[in-house]
Structure 1
Amino acid sequence: MSATLDAPRTPLRPARKKGVNWEKWGWIYMRVSGVVLVVLIFGHLFMNLIVGDGVSAIDFAFVGGKWADPFWQWWDVAMLWLALIHGGNGMRTLVNDYARGPKFRAALKLAILAAVAILILLGTLVVFTFEPCPIGQPADLLPSFCAA
């Protein structure tokens, strides 16, 4: 029996196929979104807890007043989108590492995608359609700061 040896410096893996390297871009996204999320989260905490009256001041009226400003709407939506996509990408990586079988792996990744998409949609709708004082509602159903 004779064994053949590969020539020196022969790559261990075959050359990569042409196209987009999604794993590389997912890896880059995790690093960039992590840094941006740190800034967004600490800005969020600073404005809500330090600049204001602390955690005791956070209530329905506080959120209503904050979301009346488009800047804070976009801040919170950016935080929501980045956090959900970051978490979904992390879960996808775990599924790729630990799930056995291609069909099971595909089903789990589809479930993660559906959950992330639904939560992004619902969260974005909540932020941009939030109305603390809806017109035409009975006064007993409105918060105390709304004019009846």
Structure 2
Amino acid sequence: MSVIEAPRTPRPATARRTNWEKWGWIYMRVSGVVLVVLIFGHLFVNLMVGDGVKAIDFGFVGGKWASPFWQWWDVLMLWLALIHGSNGMRTLVNDYTKPGTAQKVLKGALFVVAAALIILGTLVVFTFEPCPANAPLELLPSFCSAN
């Protein structure tokens, strides 16, 4: 004979696990708001301040990335946008594929691509040198000194 539990009987305590879906949902909302601020700030500085879009060239980027403030601004925008977009794609993979090998492969590919782009983009921002030492003079931009 089987016993049916009485209604509203508390369930036995189980180990608490992190609810990754909840944290992914929260991340999407918070990062979306922060990205709006970062992107509009980026657009304002690049397009409205100074000579506008006509001033954007190699020298403009070199001068902007000479400041740690703008380096971190752009890196934060890069990280948030790539993680935000990858998390959105992960949600689409969950919605449109059945759990199994294909889903794991797609999620793994998303992770690898996002991680590679974050690493490469961060390296570009922090190692960007518009006037490298010992470079041929004909390859240097006009604003570099001939030292």
**Structure 2 equivalent of residue 4 of structure 1:** none
Distance of 1:52 and 1:94 partners within structure 2: 41
What is the identity percentage for the equivalent residue pairs of Structure 1 and Structure 2? 74
Equivalent-residue separation in structure 2 for 1:143 and 1:108 (angstroms):
42
The answer to whether residue 39 in structure 2 is matched with residue 49 in structure 1 is no
Distance 2:85 2:14 in 1: 28
Counterpart of 1:89, as a letter, is: N
What is the letter of the counterpart of residue 102 of structure 1?
A: G
The residue number in structure 2 matching 1:146 is 144
Which residue number in structure 1 is paired with residue 103 of structure 2?
A: 105
Letter in 1 for 2:98: R
Post-superposition offset of 1:17:
6.9
| Distance in 2 separating the partners of 1:76 and 1:16 | 43
Q: Which amino acid aligns with 2:134?
A: G
Which position in structure 1 is the counterpart of 2:36?
Answer: 38
Letter in 1 for 2:28: M
The residue that corresponds to 2:80 in the other structure is: 82
For normalisation by structure 2, the TM-score amounts to 0.89
Of 136-145 and 111-120, the range deviating more from structure 2 = 136-145
Deviation at 1:100, TM superposition (A): 2.6
User: How far apart are residue 147 of structure 1 and its match?
Assistant: 1.0
> In structure 2, how many angstroms separate the alpha carbons of the residues matched to 1:16 and 1:126?
46
C-alpha deviation, 1:18, in angstroms: 2.8
* Counterpart pick for 1:24 among 3, 22, 31: 22
Per-residue displacement from partner, 1:73-99 (whole Å, max 9, x unpaired)? 000000000000000000000000001
Distance (whole Å) between structure 1 residues aligned to residue 72 and residue 54 of structure 2: 24
- Superposition misfits of 4+ residues, deviation over 3 angstroms: none
Match of 2:59 in 1: 61
RMSD: 1.9
Q: Equivalents in 2 of 1:59, 1:51: separation in Å?
A: 14
Report SS of the residue matched to 1:83.
helix
Q: TM-score, with normalisation over the residues of structure 1?
A: 0.88
Q: 2:46 is aligned with what amino acid?
A: N
CA distance in 1 between partners of 2:16 and 2:143 (Å): 60
Unaligned runs of 5+ in 2: 1-5
The amino acid that maps onto 2:61 is V
Please state how far the C-alpha of 1:118 moved relative to its aligned partner.
0.1
1:114-133 alignment, distance < 5 Å: 114-133=112-131
